[in-house]
Amino acid sequence: MARIVQKYGGTSVGSVEKIENVADRVTRAAEAGSELIVVVSAMGKSTDQLVGLANDITEHPSKREMDMLLSTGEQVTISLLTMALLKRGVEAVSYTGGQAGILTEATHGNARIKEIDSERLTNQLEAGKVLVVAGFQGVTEDGSITTLGRGGSDTTAVALAAAVGADRCEIYTDVTGVFTTDPRYVKKARKLQAVSYDEMLEMANLGAGVLHPRAVEFAKNYEVPLMVASSMVEETGTMIEEEVTVEKNLIVRGIAFENDVTKVTVAGLPNRMDTLPKLFSILSSNGVNVDIIIQNQYDEDHVNISFSITQCSLKETVACLEQAKNELEFEHLYHEEDLAKVSIVGSGMISNPGVAATMFEALAKNEIFIKMVSTSEIKVSAVVSEDDMVMAVEVLHDAFKLDEVHEEQAAQLV
């Protein structure tokens, strides 16, 4: 008997009608004889609404109370879906994250799962129950409710799949799979048959919101076969797996992008061994997360250091650097807001020189100015103006012919 974890995201459970649709789908899977855990998100935009309520009360809500508040969104869905299943004669039972045995670290707002005590779940599965579990939440050792970071229900699903030894984890959402890029922005985006764990992890980390990065990390570490498909349309989705056998030779498999990038430049720093460690330890001790870093020596004694951060950490960054101006001995501090990062991702890049050149040429030809660059074995990222973001993605989608099905795959599809 197959043991399956299914996850339905916010849009897929956004109304009573949609919850009834999910209940129909779960009922069919249960009647087909599968053992099922169903993980659900909060209905529609209700997490955003809860955040709004907290912000109406205070600008700086307590992180513990914020988790207490946000976790209620998913609890609404588990109870309603379970009622809909019971109405259909399916023996279902709902659990919060804590009741499902999900133990997390005590970092409120972005907790990592430490351990899952799956005994209750496996007993109930073996007793023939369909288990409906609240996504995005867990509890700390001392019983406080935590949340796993926005989009974290995917992680709940994959982590549970690993814990109960499920045969696969199916993520049902409002698109029919993982596309070459976000289909909401780029019309030519094409659904991929398969993506490797590593490629998907890069894409998710670089802004492709279709999967929570930690969900992909879990899937890779515990070798959970992962699928992304539509909760509305009956259509084969995308498999995320260790090694992709279709379109094997694709150099670039997808393009991810994110806005809200800010570039900060600390100019006129002393060209000394201790400059970099001092600068970045000040930033890290103030909780500033830095992404791309560029160092540039412009005379014998001085360097400029630029780095990128998210827009929301700008205030903190400027404040802590201004405060440390004498210690760091820099001359000027300036920043550029409203930037975006566009990244091409594909494991075929490792063995193909010239990928970055193609990317830069294509952007230059379309007069898109690149402000920063970073690379890894399987990605190249370029920081551009936010106004150019979507055009940059379209240009790169064309340059790497991502809308075309690779011949190998065409042969397989026949």
Binding-site ranges for Mg ion (CB under 5 A): 9, 151
If binding is defined by CB under 6 A, does position 355 make contact with ligand ADP? no
Helix (H, G, I), strand (E, B) or coil at 185: coil
Q: Which does 11 bind (CB under 5 to 8 A by kind): ligand ASP, Mg ion, ligand ADP, none?
A: ligand ADP
Instruction: Determine the residue with CB nearest Mg ion.
Output: 151
227 counts as binding ligand ADP under rule CB under 6 A: no
Token reading at 229: 């498909």
Instruction: Tell me how far, at minimum, the Cβ of 149 lies from ligand ASP, in Å.
Output: 8
Angle 197-205/213-221 helices, nearest 10 degrees? 160
Q: At what angle do helices 16-31 and 63-87 cross, to 10 degrees?
A: 60
Residue with tokens 């075309």, as numbered in its chain = 404
Question: Contact letters (x/-) for ligand ADP, 173-212, by CB under 6 A?
Answer: xxx--xx-xxxx-----------------------xxx--
Type and span of the H or E element at 117? none
Q: How far apart are CA 387 and CA 384, in angstroms?
A: 8
Identify residues 132-151 at the interface with ligand ADP (CB under 6 A): 151
Contact with ligand ASP (CB under 6 A) among 14, 135, 237, 254: 135
Is 73 a residue that touches ligand ADP (CB under 6 A)? Answer: no
18, 34, 45, 171, 278 from 9: Cα distances, Å: 11, 21, 11, 8, 43
CA atoms within 13 A on the CB side of 280: 17
Check the annotation: does 234 bind a ligand.
no
> Among ligand ASP, Mg ion, ligand ADP, none, what binds residue 181 when CB lies within 5 to 8 Å by partner kind?
ligand ADP
Nearer to ligand ADP, 181 or 196 (CB): 181
- Residue among 301, 292, 290, 294 nearest 268 (CA): 301
Q: Determine the Cα–Cα distance for residues 73 and 197; give it in Å rounded to an integer.
A: 29
Which residues form the interface with ligand ADP (CB under 6 A)?
Answer: 9-12, 41, 151, 173-175, 178-179, 181-184, 208-210, 254
Query: Which residues fall in the annotated binding site?
Result: 7-10, 47, 74, 173-174, 184
Which residues form the interface with ligand ASP (CB under 6 A)?
Answer: 9-10, 41-42, 47, 73, 135-136, 150-153
